[in-house]
Structure 1
Amino acid sequence: MKALLRWIGYSAIISLSFQIPLYAQDVPIVRYAQLRVDSGGVHSRVMAANTIKKPDVVADNTLNAADFDEDSYLQRIADLDVYGKKHDARPVVDLLKSNQLKAVTADKKRSHKFYYHMANIFARLRMYSLAMKCYFKTLPVGEDVNTHLIDSAAWDTTYITERKPAFTLAALQRDTSVTGLLTINHVDEQILADSNNYQYTSREVKSPTTQLANIIDPFDDGKKASAYALLIHISQPVSGKRKIFVKLSKVGHTFITLIKYNTDSTSVSRSFGFYPKKDHFLSATPLFPTTGSVFKNDEQHDWDETVGKFISERRFKRILRVIKQYDMKNYNLNKNNCTDFGLSLASTAGISILYTNGSWPLGRGNNPASAGQSVLEGKVLNMDNKYGLFICNDIVK
Structure 2
Amino acid sequence: MKALLRWIAYSAIILLSLQIPLYAQDAPVVRYAQLRVDSGGVHSSVIAANAFKKPDVAADNTLSAADFDEESYLQKVASFDVYGKKHDARPIAKLLKADQVKAVTSDKKRSHKFYYHMANIFARLRMYPLAMKCYFKTLQVDDEHTAIHLTDSVAVDSSRISDSKPTFTQANLRNNTSVAGLLAINRTDEQMLDADSGNYNHPGKEIKSPPVQLANIIDPFDDGKKASAYALLIHISQPVSGKRRIFVKLSKVGHTFITLIKYNTDSTSVSRSFGFYPKKEHFLSATPLFPTTGSVFKNDEQHDWDETVGKFISERRFKRILKVIRQFDQKNYNLNKNNCTDFGLSLASTAGISILYTNGSWPLGRGNNPASAGQSVLEGKVLNMDSSCNLFICNDLAQ
TM range, normalised to the smaller chain?
A: 0.7 to 0.9
1:103 has 2:87 as partner = no
Q: CA deviation at 1:358?
A: 0.6
Distance in 2 between residues matched to 1:122 and 1:225, nearest whole Å: 22
3-state SS in 2 of match to 1:259: strand
Distance in 2 between residues matched to 1:217 and 1:130, nearest whole Å: 22
Distance in 2 between residues matched to 1:220 and 1:138, nearest whole Å: 29
What letter matches 2:191 in structure 1?
A: Q
Do 1:155 and 1:167's aligned partners in 2 also have CA atoms closer than 8 Å? no
Do 1:237 and 1:250's aligned partners in 2 also have CA atoms closer than 8 Å? yes
3-state SS in 2 of match to 1:152: helix
> What is the alpha-carbon root mean square deviation over aligned residues?
2.1
Kindly tell me: are residues 257 and 129 of structure 1, through their superposed partners in 2, closer, same or farther at Cα, counting changes over 3 Å?
Answer: same
Distance in 1 between residues matched to 2:123 and 2:148, nearest whole Å: 27
Aligned to 2:260: 258
Q: Once the two structures are superposed, what CA deviation does each residue of 1:316-371 show, in whole Å capped at 9, x if it has no partner?
A: 11111100100000100000000000000000101000110111110000000000
Q: CA deviation at 1:193?
A: 1.3
Aligned to 2:8: none
Q: CA deviation at 1:142?
A: 4.6
Kindly tell me: are residues 66 and 150 of structure 1, through their superposed partners in 2, closer, same or farther at Cα, counting changes over 3 Å?
Answer: closer
What letter matches 1:213 in structure 2?
A: A
Distance in 2 between residues matched to 1:336 and 1:196, nearest whole Å: 37
Aligned to 2:112: 112
Please, which runs of 5 or more residues in structure 2 have no aligned partner? 1-59, 158-166
Do 1:274 and 1:341's aligned partners in 2 also have CA atoms closer than 8 Å? yes
Kindly tell me: are residues 183 and 280 of structure 1, through their superposed partners in 2, closer, same or farther at Cα, counting changes over 3 Å?
Answer: same
Distance in 2 between residues matched to 1:176 and 1:144, nearest whole Å: 19
Distance in 1 between residues matched to 2:272 and 2:72, nearest whole Å: 36
Q: CA deviation at 1:68?
A: 3.9
TM-score (norm 1): 0.79
Task: Choose from 328, 331, 338 the match for 1:329.
Answer: 331
Q: CA deviation at 1:62?
A: 4.1
The 5 A counterparts of 1:311-330 are 311-330=313-332
Kindly tell me: are residues 61 and 299 of structure 1, through their superposed partners in 2, closer, same or farther at Cα, counting changes over 3 Å?
Answer: farther
Kindly tell me: are residues 330 and 385 of structure 1, through their superposed partners in 2, closer, same or farther at Cα, counting changes over 3 Å?
Answer: same
What letter matches 1:173 in structure 2?
A: R
- Larger relative contact order (C-alpha < 8 A, sep ≥ 6)? 1
What letter matches 1:79 in structure 2?
A: S
The 5 A counterparts of 1:182-331 are 182-198=183-199, 199-331=201-333
What letter matches 1:321 in structure 2?
A: K
State how many pairs are aligned.
331
The 5 A counterparts of 1:353-392 are 353-392=355-394
3-state SS in 2 of match to 1:386: coil
Structure 1 vs Structure 2: percent identity of aligned residues? 81
Q: Once the two structures are superposed, what CA deviation does each residue of 1:258-316 show, in whole Å capped at 9, x if it has no partner?
A: 00000010000000000001121111000000001010000010000000000111111
What letter matches 1:322 in structure 2?
A: V
Q: CA deviation at 1:246?
A: 0.7
Distance in 2 between residues matched to 1:267 and 1:168, nearest whole Å: 25
Do 1:141 and 1:170's aligned partners in 2 also have CA atoms closer than 8 Å? no
Distance in 2 between residues matched to 1:68 and 1:246, nearest whole Å: 50
Aligned to 2:135: 135
Aligned to 2:13: none
Do 2:93 and 2:190's aligned partners in 1 also have CA atoms closer than 8 Å? no
Q: CA deviation at 1:146?
A: 2.5
Distance in 2 between residues matched to 1:240 and 1:62, nearest whole Å: 36
Q: CA deviation at 1:67?
A: 4.6
Distance in 1 between residues matched to 2:311 and 2:393, nearest whole Å: 9
Distance in 2 between residues matched to 1:75 and 1:102, nearest whole Å: 16
Q: Once the two structures are superposed, what CA deviation does each residue of 1:239-271 show, in whole Å capped at 9, x if it has no partner?
A: 111111112411100000000000010000000
Larger Rg: 2
